């Protein structure tokens, strides 16, 4: 389990549907060692702080293994590393094997998994495809967010070492499934609603579906 690319980007203005929209989804790989802080990584900045950023979404992780799927599905888009706006492109991890509350040491930083990434219209802007939000969610290839529990430094190539995991926790993939299509699974709804590391907004959403 490794970080193979660290990606960052600052807000930029783009034209979308006749309007100017500010977005930070355009990220590119950066060289050298990067400081991982409580709210983001150095050189990176979120644009819309209402729905992006914050301590529970400090670092966005996307598995490199998913790139093969997208390059086959949409070969004309190319998909360079960082294409999904992720801060860390990784190998050896996916939504099935990563659970809410899993703790990782990455370089000298420590982080905890908090939630899946839910797509917004910025994906439509990034790929210039009106169907991208639907494709992204239906694929289940959402990636996940980390909260930073100890600030530190990370370099591309560093290992991601799982240092703690709750055996009763829920895989990121199950949270995505519950959100997208599995509303009738009341037992899973109860379990997810009680996850300590899942942000309160998510837990409240699932409680309302019980």
Better-scored residue on pLDDT, 208 or 33: 33
pLDDT of residue 49: 64
Beta strand segments in the chain, E: 2-8, 12-16, 19-23, 28-29, 33-36, 59-63, 88-91, 103-106, 109-116, 144-150, 152-155, 160-164
User: Is 182 a residue whose pLDDT tops 90?
Assistant: no
Q: What is the mean pLDDT of residues 17-29?
A: 92
pLDDT of residue 3: 98
Rg of the chain over CA atoms, in angstroms?
17
Give the tens place of pLDDT for each residue, 144-166: 999 999 999 999 999 999 999 98
pLDDT of residue 63: 98
Give the tens place of pLDDT for each residue, 33-68: 999 999 999 999 886 666 667 899 999 999 999 999
DSSP secondary structure code for residue 96 in this structure: T
Q: What is the mean pLDDT of residues 97-125?
A: 95
**Which residues neighbour 90 within 8 Å (Cβ) at sequence distance 6 or greater?**
1, 2, 3, 4, 61, 62, 63, 64, 160
pLDDT of residue 50: 61
Q: How many CB atoms lie within 10 A of CB 87?
A: 28
Query: What is the pLDDT confidence band of residue 183, given thresholds at 50, 70 and 90?
Result: low
Exposure string for 161-177, b = 16+ CB within 10 A, e = fewer:
eeeeeeeebbbbbbbbb
The 3-state DSSP class for residue 156 equals coil
For residue 120, which of 18, 6, 23 has the smallest C-alpha distance? 23
What does pTM read for this prediction? 0.94
Give backbone dihedrals phi and psi of 161, rounded to 5 degrees, phi first: -105, 120
For residue 98, which of 54, 142, 150 has the smallest C-alpha distance? 142
Better-scored residue on pLDDT, 45 or 72: 72
Query: What is the pLDDT confidence band of residue 126, given thresholds at 50, 70 and 90?
Result: very high
95: tokens are 């939504």
User: Is 202 a residue whose pLDDT tops 90?
Assistant: yes
Helices (H) then strands (E): counts for the chain? 6, 12
Beta strand segments in 43-87, E: 59-63
Query: What is the pLDDT confidence band of residue 167, given thresholds at 50, 70 and 90?
Result: confident
pLDDT of residue 65: 98
Question: In angstroms, rounded to a whole number, what is the distance separating the alpha carbons of residues 99 and 116?
Answer: 10
Lowest mean pLDDT across 20-29, 40-49, 64-73, 192-201: 40-49
């Amino acid at each position: 389990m490794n970080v193979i690319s660290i990606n960052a980007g600052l807000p930029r203005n783009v034209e979308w549907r006749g309007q100017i929209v500010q977005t930070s989804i355009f990220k590119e790989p950066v060289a050298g060692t990067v400081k991982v802080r409580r709210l983001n990584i150095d050189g990176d900045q979120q644009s819309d702080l209402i729905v992006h950023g914050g301590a529970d979404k400090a670092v966005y992780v996307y598995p490199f293994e998913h790139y093969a799927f997208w390059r086959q599905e949409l070969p004309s888009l190319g998909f360079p590393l960082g294409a999904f706006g992720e801060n860390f492109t990784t190998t050896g991890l996916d939504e099935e094997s990563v659970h809410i509350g899993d703790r990782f040491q990455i370089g000298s930083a420590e982080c905890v998994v908090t939630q899946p990434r839910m797509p917004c219209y910025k994906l439509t802007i990034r790929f210039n495809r009106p169907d991208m939000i639907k494709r992204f969610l239906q694929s289940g290839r959402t990636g996940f967010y980390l909260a930073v529990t100890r600030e530190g430094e990370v370099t591309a190539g560093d290992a991601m070492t799982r240092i703690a995991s709750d055996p009763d926790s829920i895989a990121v993939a199950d949270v995505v499934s519950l959100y997208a299509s599995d509303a009738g699974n009341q037992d899973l709804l109860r379990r997810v609603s009680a996850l300590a590391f899942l942000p309160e907004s998510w837990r409240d959403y699932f409680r309302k579906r019980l």
